[in-house]
Structure 1
Amino acid sequence: MFSVNHQKFMEMDELSRQKTPYFFIIDFLSENVEIYLEHEIEKSGLLVDFQSFSTPKQTKELHKKIEWRSYPETLEDFKTGFDQVQKNIRLGNSYLVNYTRKTRIETNLSLEEIFLHSDAKYKVFYKDFFVFFSPETFVKIIDDKIFTYPMKGTIDASIENAKEILKNDKKEKAEHYTVVDLLRNDLSMVSDEVTVNHFQHIDLIKTQQKNLYAMSSEIAGNIKPEFVGKIGSIMKKLLPAGSILGAPKPKTLEIIQQAEGYERGYYTGVCGWFDGKNVDSCVMIRFIEKENDTLYFKSGGGITHMSKLEDEYQEMKNKIYVPIY
Structure 2
Amino acid sequence: MNRLGRSGTPFFFAIDFEMRFPVIVPLSRMHGGFLLFNIQGRSNDYSRHHTVSANMSDNISLNPRFISRADYSRAFHLVQSEMKAGNSFLCNLTFPTLLEPDPTIRLRELYYRVHAPYRVYMNAERLPREFLQDPSAAAEEMPREFLLFSPETFVQTHHGRIYTYPMKGTSLVPEGESLDRAEKTLLEDEKERAEHITVVDLLRNDLGRVGRDIQVERFRYADAIPVNGGRLIQISSRISALLPGDWKRRLGDMTARLLPAGSVSGAPKRETCRIIAQAEGAPRGFYTGVCGIFDGYNLNSGVMIRYLERPGEKQPWGSSWNGDPGEPSAPLLFRSGGGITIYSNEADEYSELQAKVKLPLEKR
Which consecutive unaligned segments of at least 5 residues does structure 1 have? Answer: 1-11
Is this contact kept in 2: 1:207–1:323, CA < 8 A?
yes
2:353 matched residue in structure 1:
316
Q: Secondary structure at the match of 1:211?
A: strand
Q: In 2, Cα distance between the equivalents of 1:64 and 1:111?
A: 11
Q: Secondary structure at the match of 2:209?
A: helix
Q: Secondary structure at the match of 1:230?
A: helix
Match of 1:37 among 3, 21, 26: 26
Query: Deviations 1:121-153 (Å, cap 9, x if unpaired)?
Result: 100001161111000000001122100000000
2:303 matched residue in structure 1:
283
Query: Deviations 1:38-69 (Å, cap 9, x if unpaired)?
Result: 12223261000111410123233643432321
Q: Secondary structure at the match of 1:172?
A: helix
Is this contact kept in 2: 1:67–1:109, CA < 8 A?
no
Q: Secondary structure at the match of 1:184?
A: helix
Is this contact kept in 1: 2:145–2:310, CA < 8 A?
yes
Q: Report the aligned-residue RMSD.
A: 1.4
1:13 matched residue in structure 2:
2
Identity of matched residues, %: 40
Which one-letter code corresponds to 1:199 in the other structure? F
Is 1:254 the equivalent of 2:254? no
Is 1:111 the equivalent of 2:107? yes
2:131 matched residue in structure 1:
none
Is this contact kept in 1: 2:53–2:109, CA < 8 A?
no
Q: In 1, Cα distance between the equivalents of 2:270 and 2:62?
A: 37
Match of 2:332 among 275, 295, 304: 295
Task: Give the Å deviation of 1:225.
Answer: 4.3
Match of 1:210 among 227, 230, 237: 230
Alignment of structure 1 residues 35-74 onto 2, 5 Å: 35-43=24-32, 45-55=34-44, 56-59=46-49, 60=52, 62-65=54-57, 66-74=60-68
Query: Deviations 1:135-190 (Å, cap 9, x if unpaired)?
Result: 00000011221000000000122454101111110111011000000000000000
Query: Deviations 1:244-303 (Å, cap 9, x if unpaired)?
Result: 000000100000000011210111110110000001000111011102321111100000
126-135 vs 97-106, which moves further? 126-135
Q: In 1, Cα distance between the equivalents of 2:108 and 2:68?
A: 30
Task: Give the Å deviation of 1:224.
Answer: 2.9
The change in CA–CA distance for 1:52 and 1:191 in structure 2 (over 3 A counts) is farther
Which one-letter code corresponds to 1:195 in the other structure? Q
Is this contact kept in 2: 1:197–1:220, CA < 8 A?
yes
Task: Give the Å deviation of 1:31.
Answer: 1.3
Is this contact kept in 1: 2:155–2:300, CA < 8 A?
yes
Is this contact kept in 2: 1:114–1:322, CA < 8 A?
no
Is this contact kept in 2: 1:227–1:233, CA < 8 A?
no
Is this contact kept in 1: 2:307–2:335, CA < 8 A?
yes
Is 1:231 the equivalent of 2:213? no
Q: In 2, Cα distance between the equivalents of 1:123 and 1:42?
A: 17
Alignment of structure 1 residues 133-172 onto 2, 5 Å: 133-158=149-174, 160=178, 161-172=181-192
Which one-letter code corresponds to 1:145 in the other structure? R
Q: Secondary structure at the match of 2:100?
A: strand
Q: In 1, Cα distance between the equivalents of 2:53 and 2:286?
A: 29
Q: Secondary structure at the match of 2:291?
A: strand
Which one-letter code corresponds to 1:262 in the other structure? A
Q: Secondary structure at the match of 1:157?
A: strand
Length-normalised TM-score, structure 1: 0.93
1:179 matched residue in structure 2:
199
| Count of residue pairs brought into register by the alignment | 314
Length-normalised TM-score, structure 2: 0.83
Which consecutive unaligned segments of at least 5 residues does structure 2 have? Answer: 124-143, 312-317, 319-329
1:22 matched residue in structure 2:
11
Is 1:83 the equivalent of 2:77? yes
Task: Give the Å deviation of 1:74.
Answer: 2.0
284-293 vs 182-191, which moves further? 284-293
